Amino acid sequence: MEFKPTAISAMPPGGRFETDVAIVGAGPVGLFAVFECGMLGMSCHVLDALETVGGQCAALYPEKPIYDIPGLPEVSGRHLVDRLTTQAAPFEPSYHLDQRVSGLAAMPTGHWQLQTDAGTQVSAKAVIIAAGVGAFTPRRPPLAGIGDFEGGPEGVGVHYAVHDPNAYDGRRVVIAGGGDSAVDWALALAGKAAAIFMVHRRDKFRAADALVARLRELAAAGAVELVVPYQLKALEGAGGRLSAVEVADAAGNLRRIEADALLPFFGLAQALGPIADWVPELTDGHVVVDPATAMTALPGLFAIGDVSTYPGKLKLILTGFAEAARAAYTAHGVVFPGKRLKFEYSTTKGIPRE
């Protein structure tokens, strides 16, 4: 049977919501926590600072192979995220993306109140922090007026992630950067976009050798134009609509590229941010938890994945998956106090079907 990934629809910013569990971080471990919570009858709202789900897997190495996921001898970051979102989909999680959680407070009711920088408020009975090494935000190129071209429909203007490759059909696309993400999307959009211009400050790329070799093959065939060694200089457009990207080389020579869209992939800035103020104990920038429950010293506040620490911790995705299960089972007692939890295997219990 052919696998078809589940499309993700993010909630619009703003509004007030109530849920059983709020999950801060939409990386692989956070997505699997949705599944584990759903299997125990708990609803979830997921919040992430990035524009799309997947965390580092989607943002930093979507096409790079991962070899240590049980049962999957080799899987790309993108495909792993696709499978995790599809696995979580039957439990109908709500996603709040492109929003940083700016505040978390315990309420007199025993619930937790989360606030985002976009004005969204979520009240939850339990909170699972699955924020990796903290919130990721794209590194924006220092171009005058770049904000005028951000936030528009995909396929036009400036975007730091690709949600729908089909939105770039027939578009003239400038991709800036020399790492895995930049090369991955140049390869993925080749044949869809009307033209692809790959801007990098040097002729050497940092992506995997096989991907770079494929990129040069496409360049030789005329499917991608390598604009090297150049860097972004300025943007042109009116009414929030991009019309051209100006680039410059080290000698100051300028080139104007007519373009509908600019995709800058200059990596992500990451910081623990306000998480450090929420938790009772940190060690070397990581949240200290009980390894048996994944809970902090505050009842109902959990941390899983790379953000958490305890004696003997292994920073592996599969370790985070196990922590997600521990957190969900412990959170059940917080969400449904006094309700007996009967352990059942998924082969016995099954999952919701449409």
Per-residue pLDDT, averaged over 165-193, amounts to 93
pLDDT grade, residue 215 (50/70/90)?
very high
Instruction: Please determine, for residue 62, whether its predicted confidence score (pLDDT) is greater than 80.
Output: no
Q: pLDDT by residue (tens digit) across 220-272?
A: 999 999 999 999 999 999 998 999 999 999 999 999 999 999 999 987 766 66
Residue among 330, 263, 267 nearest 298 (CA): 330
- Per-residue CA distances from 137 to 98, 134, 269, 278 (Å): 9, 10, 5, 20
User: How many whole angstroms separate alpha carbon 304 and alpha carbon 129?
Assistant: 6
Per-residue pLDDT, averaged over 84-96, amounts to 96
Which residue shows structure tokens 């709020």?
Answer: 22
Instruction: Please determine, for residue 345, whether its predicted confidence score (pLDDT) is greater than 50.
Output: yes
Instruction: Please determine, for residue 1, whether its predicted confidence score (pLDDT) is greater than 50.
Output: no
Q: Which residue has the higher pLDDT, 134 or 167?
A: 167
- Structure-block tokens of residue 278: 């929420």
Q: Is 57 exposed, middle or buried (0-12, 13-18, 19+ CB in 10 A)?
A: buried
Go through 181-209 and write b for each residue having 16 or more CB atoms within 10 A of its CB, e for each that does not: bbbbbbbbbbeebebbbbbbbeeebebbe
Instruction: Please determine, for residue 89, whether its predicted confidence score (pLDDT) is greater than 70.
Output: yes
pTM of the model: 0.69
Instruction: Please determine, for residue 4, whether its predicted confidence score (pLDDT) is greater than 70.
Output: no
Q: pLDDT by residue (tens digit) across 127-151?
A: 999 987 655 667 889 999 999 999 8
The region of weakest confidence among 5-14, 202-211, 265-274 is: 265-274
Instruction: Please determine, for residue 99, whether its predicted confidence score (pLDDT) is greater than 50.
Output: yes
Q: What is the mean pLDDT of the chain?
A: 91
User: How many whole angstroms separate alpha carbon 230 and alpha carbon 179?
Assistant: 15
Q: Please tell me the predicted confidence (pLDDT) of residue 25.
A: 93
Tell me which DSSP letter residue 194 carries. Answer: S
Q: pLDDT by residue (tens digit) across 270-324?
A: 666 678 788 888 888 889 999 999 999 999 999 999 999 999 999 999 999 999 9
Q: Please tell me the predicted confidence (pLDDT) of residue 50.
A: 84
Per the CB < 8 A criterion, the answer to whether 158 and 52 are in contact is no
Pairing label, strands 261-264, 268-271: unpaired
User: How many whole angstroms separate alpha carbon 52 and alpha carbon 62?
Assistant: 12
User: How many whole angstroms separate alpha carbon 24 and alpha carbon 164?
Assistant: 24
